[in-house]
Structure 1
């Protein structure tokens, strides 16, 4: 029985990388960072948008998975962190953030794609981002700096609490 189950899982995973399309049931964007007093995590989750992302196409046409995210939809755990997050991303001037995943290509046990970010009035293109296959999702993790994103790593409480320069952006594509 165990051998049959193991064989079935191998066939499933092999078939997953032979397909030229991924059906995305749910998406999640997570921003993680550290401050002088601890860490923070702000996330956005979309369950209402189901999409199909094509990859390895022979032509120059690639499908793109776009997330147009209202900054106010990110949750950071409490209203103070939510407010600081919105202020850092300049939500009063730029109320939306755009994340696009495109040009997916296969690699050994992972996919590679380009990520286009538009946040706080700045455009960023990140090429060849790896999306690792983990159980029911593909996950891409980007280590970015506040300066690279054009964001001010502001301080709070008269300079006692400061945001560290490095942040992690995680993109989860649930199958």
Structure 2
């Protein structure tokens, strides 16, 4: 019986270690927000990065959760989820350097594409990357609420975590 518990614990730990997510952190003049999509998976369980096999990740905008039903609905409305249901993250190149990895990544949403150079590190078999982006990069005007009393800032922090074997 103890072996069964150990096996279950190990499988749970392994499943948690391979969780993938994309977080978008932002702020308003009143507070901060975080919207997370962790409902995507690679068919093989982990992402591989080689010259011939770079990931192309398709995220459903409806799968982002901002921790608050109204905020999630507003976020999906800002990204026009009904007309543009997917956001795509495509790795164009991926290079190992002294400190970690550099990648050229194309982010596409609402029929707008923008390329970013992003530095990645490996932590617990996860490839972690972070990039500051803006709503305006994608021709999105940051929203205002309550007659302009609450203003969403243009700056966003995009964070990737991908289970990987490198």
Q: TM-score, normalised by structure 1?
A: 0.76
Q: Distance in 2 between matches of 1:152 and 1:90?
A: 12
Compare relative contact order (CA 8 Å, sep 6+) and give the higher one, 1 or 2: 2
* Structure with the higher helix share, 1 or 2: 2
Structure 2 gap segments, 5+ residues each: 1-16
SS at match of 1:148: helix
Matches within 5 A, 1:157-172: 157-172=146-161
Superimposed CA distance per residue, residues 44-96 of structure 1 (whole angstroms, 9 cap, x where no aligned partner): 114642244233x4xxxx32212211111000001111111011111121111
Structure 1 gap segments, 5+ residues each: 1-23
Q: Distance in 2 between matches of 1:122 and 1:52?
A: 25
2:10 alignment counterpart: none
Aligned to 2:36, which of 34, 43, 49?
Answer: 43
Q: Distance in 1 between matches of 2:107 and 2:54?
A: 13
Runs of 4+ in 1 over 4 A off after TM superposition: none
Instruction: Count matched residues.
Output: 146
Q: Distance in 1 between matches of 2:47 and 2:130?
A: 21
Distance 1:135 1:48, change over 3 A: closer
Report the CA distance between 1:104 and its aligned residue: 1.3
**Superposition RMSD in Å:** 1.8
